[in-house]
Amino acid sequence: MASHRKSRPAGTRVAGIRTPALATAALTSVALLSQSANAAPEADDKPSLEEVEKKVDDLYRQAESATDKYNAAKEKTAKQRKRVDTLLDGVAQRTQKLNEAREKLGSFAAAQYRTGASAPDTATFLLADTPQDYFDQTQLMDRMTGRQKIAVDDYVTQQSETMKQRQEATESLETLNETQGDLKTAKATVQRKLAEARELLSKLTAEEKARLAAIEREKQQEAARKAAELARQQAAQQQAQEEAAQQQESGSSSSSGASSSTGSSSSTAPADSSYATKAEKALAFARAQIGKPYVWGAVGPGSYDCSGLTQAAWKAAGVTLPRTTWDQVNAGTTVSLTNAQPGDLVFFYDDLSHVGIYIGNGMMIHAPKPGTYVREESIYYDGESSIHSVVRPA
C-alpha cells in the first residue's frame, strides 16, 4: 500500500535543525567564498615586479658571464685552428720530402736490379715497416756505400719527423674538437639565459612594464646621485694633492710634513701625461660608438659586447688588451675608486662579468646588456656593491 507520508521540503539538517532552501544557498555561498579564500594564495604565487626585475638582471649577468666563456673559447679555438693548420702544412711538406727520399732509395733498388750486383737489398728495406729494426737485424748499414747511407739516413729522418708531426697534428685536432665543444656549450648557455629573460619580460602587462620602467628610473636617479658624490670626492682629493705639491715647491712645509705629503701623493698619484694622451684617444673612440647595439661576442665595428668595446677603444690608443674581462682585469695596475682617471677600466661583480671605460665624474661608457646600446651611464648603475675594481691599463 502506498505511503501517505508528506515529502520533506527541500533542505538539509544542520545540528538537528531543518534548514530551508535559502539557508542552503547561503551555506553554499559561504563554502564558495571559503574555497576562493583558500585559492587566493595560489594567485599570490606570481612574482612581484621587483622579483622579476632581479631575475631578469641575474639572467643577463649569467648571459654576460657565459659570453666571456664564449669569447675565451672562441679565442682559444682560433689559436688552436691556426696551430692545426700549421702542423698539417708541416706534415704535407714532410710527406713530400719523405716521398723524395723514398724515390731516391728506389732508384738504388732499380740500379741493383739492372746490374744484377750483389748490393744490399734496398727494395726489401723500402718494404720494411720499421727500417731501424731492419738495420739492426741485417746490419744493412755496414754493407752500404756512402751515397746509399746518406740516402737511407735522409729517409729515416724524414720518416721520423713525418710521424712526429702527424702525431702532433692528431693531438692538436683533438684539442681543437674540445675547444669547439666548449664554444658550442657557452653559446647555448648564452642563448638559453637570454631566452629565459625574454620569456619573463613577455609575461608582463603594459601596466607592469610601465611600473618596471619607473623602478629603473629611480635606480638611475640614485646612481646619478652617487656619481655626483664621487665627483665631489675626486675634486677634493685633486685639490688636496695640488695644495700639497705647492707646499713642497715653496718649501714651506717641514721635512716630516713633506715626507708625509710625498707618501700620500704616491698612493693616489694621478695618471701621467702619456697615459692621459692615450686615454683621450681611447675615450674618443668609445664616444664614437655610442648608440651602437650590444651584441654578445661582438668586437665591432657595428656592435659590441662589454669587453669587446673596451678592447677596441684601447686598441685605438695603441694598447692591446686581452679579449675577456677575466684577462683585462689583470692587464694593468689596480687603483682606488676615488683615484679613478678617465680611460681606466671599471669592473663589476664578483665574477667580473662586466666592464666599462671610465670618463670621469662617476660616469662611464659601456655596452650594458642585450637589448641595449652603447651609452654613458653612472658607474653605480647597479648599486655601489656591484663595483669590483678599477684598473689602469697603460
Residue with cell 637570454: 194
CB 321 within 8 Å of CB 331 = yes
CA distance 37 to 85: 70
How large is the greatest C-alpha to C-alpha distance in the chain, in angstroms? 140
Per the structure block, which three cell numbers stand in for 332?
694593468
End-to-end CA distance of the chain: 113
What values do phi and psi take at 350, rounded to 5? Answer: -65, -30
CA distance 66 to 64: 5
Show which residues are catalytic: 306, 354, 366
What values do phi and psi take at 354, rounded to 5? Answer: -145, 150
Report CA dihedral (176, 178, 181, 186) to the nearest 10 degrees. Answer: -100
CB 191 within 8 Å of CB 323 = no
CB 386 within 8 Å of CB 349 = yes
Per the structure block, which three cell numbers stand in for 88?
698539417
What values do phi and psi take at 139, rounded to 5? Answer: 50, 45
